[in-house]
Structure 1
Amino acid sequence: MEEEPKLHRRISVHQALGGGLAADVLLWRKWYGGVVVLVSETILWLVFERAGYNLISFVANVLLLLVVFLFFWAKAASLLNRSLPPLPDLIISEESICNAADILQIWINRAMYIAHDIAIERNLVLSIQVAAVFLVISVIGSLFNFLTLIYLGVLLSLSVPLLYDKYQDRIDNKMYTMHQIIQTQYRKFENNVLRNIPIPSNKAKKME
């Protein structure tokens, strides 16, 4: 009996997440970082969602307290010949701006490419995919508010990478099987439905 071919090559989840401090926190290799993130996000969610505290008022009060604290610290330091508050250089480097602009350009170009395929090329499959994504986002948005979605995202970020790193082989095998089933059903849908939908070409439209 022939041995089943290997479906995938095991990847390093830590390297896929960047291999830095964020990856250590998400995979709980620095457990105290994960605890700090989880506890702080839980407290913020309880303050804003359960206690009904307003986000803008909270940010304004925190900044007000910070400014007052720094002012009195600086005054006391000048009177007592102590060191000033150890503030970092609050300057955004040109390199950071360029990197952010490059990332933004990639996403904008990708969105424009999708819009071009839908509006000009009349890509029906892509149109259905985009509509399905927006429908899912709309349904999820109607069930949860923005802060709850952020909190759920933090919970998933602290659990899904860890579970995937631990059970990667099993999950990949299940995902491969699911992918095969979805591909088979999609081919049937494409052959039976999509190919029977008449789509006028650009040339035919210009000839009219």
Structure 2
Amino acid sequence: MPIYSGSSDSEDERTYHKTTKLFSRQRSVHSIFGGGQVADILLWREPKIAATLVIGVSLLWFLMEVVEYNFITLVCHASMTSMLLFFIWSTVSDFLNWERPIIPEVVLDESSFRHLATSFHVRFNQILSKLLDIACGRDPPLFFLTTISLYILSIIGTYFNFVNLLFVGFVTMQTMPVMYEMYEDAVDRVAGKLMRKMRRLYRKVDSNVLSKIPRGTVKNKKLT
């Protein structure tokens, strides 16, 4: 006997029409990313910082992968260049009465690093908790979808080295959230249809295969 009734499909349709948000979320995309400066950068609400970050990371990737700079060599050369520029600036400023170079306080602010580390820790715990929740089998279609996605990611990883994979991941993080926020309704409709199809497929597999697997009976043993 199938464990799902025929009316479950119609109930599933009504549920997904009521809950149109991806993964049944109730919060906005901005609040999911923490609602702070990190969320503003990922969603390009601070375009200057976001663009500077993308350009900087792209330049770093270009130097390491295209120019084939060694990481330690690149850091040393960048440090020497920065020190030389600061030395020239400081020397010239004494003769021309220019303002000496000042490192922005945000770079040296301990709270900024602590906030960044805390945000990363919170996001990592949320992702780990979500993966463990999916692994427990509470949402079988989402479990299969996550497994397939991880398998596809593992295949993609065989064609990229670690630096390229980090760069692709960074570009994805800087483009996917803002694109999803722009086309949220359309993506939610497509994702809802996909999840409904996954649920129907799981029910067919369960009724035609899993429910027909013989299971041994458990006999009660008398305690002597």
1:147 paired with 2:163, answer yes
Q: 1:24: which partner in 2?
A: 40
Deviations 1:39-69 (A, max 9, x none): 1111111111111111232234445666899
Distance 1:45 1:135 in 2: 26
Distance 2:155 2:184 in 1: 30
Deviations 1:95-128 (A, max 9, x none): x5x969x769958x869x96xx89xxxxxx8997
Question: Which piece of structure 1 moves more, 16-25 or 44-53?
Answer: 16-25
Q: 1:14: which partner in 2?
A: 30
Once the two structures are TM-superposed, the CA of residue 162 in structure 1 deviates from its matched residue by: 1.3
Once the two structures are TM-superposed, the CA of residue 147 in structure 1 deviates from its matched residue by: 1.4
Aligned residues: 190
Q: 1:171: which partner in 2?
A: 187
Q: How does the TM-score come out when normalised to structure 1?
A: 0.61
1:35 paired with 2:47, answer no
Structure 1: unaligned runs, 5 residues or longer? 74-84, 119-124, 202-208
Q: Which amino acid aligns with 1:34?
A: A
Q: 1:46: which partner in 2?
A: 62
Q: 2:172: which partner in 1?
A: 156
Q: How does the TM-score come out when normalised to structure 2?
A: 0.57
Aligned partner of residue 137 in structure 1, secondary structure: helix
Match of 2:202 among 182, 186, 204: 186
Aligned partner of residue 34 in structure 2, secondary structure: coil
The alignment-based identity, stated in percent, is 26
Distance 1:181 1:128 in 2: 12
1:30-179 → structure 2 map (5 Å cutoff): 30-63=46-79, 132=148, 135-179=151-195
Q: RMSD across aligned C-alpha pairs, in angstroms?
A: 4.9
Distance 2:35 2:62 in 1: 31
Q: Which amino acid aligns with 1:146?
A: F
Higher relative CO (Cα under 8 Å, sequence separation at least 6) belongs to 2
Distance 1:154 1:63 in 2: 24
Q: Are the aligned partners of 1:7 and 1:173 in contact in 2 as well (CA < 8 Å)?
A: no
Structure 2: unaligned runs, 5 residues or longer? 1-13, 90-100, 219-224
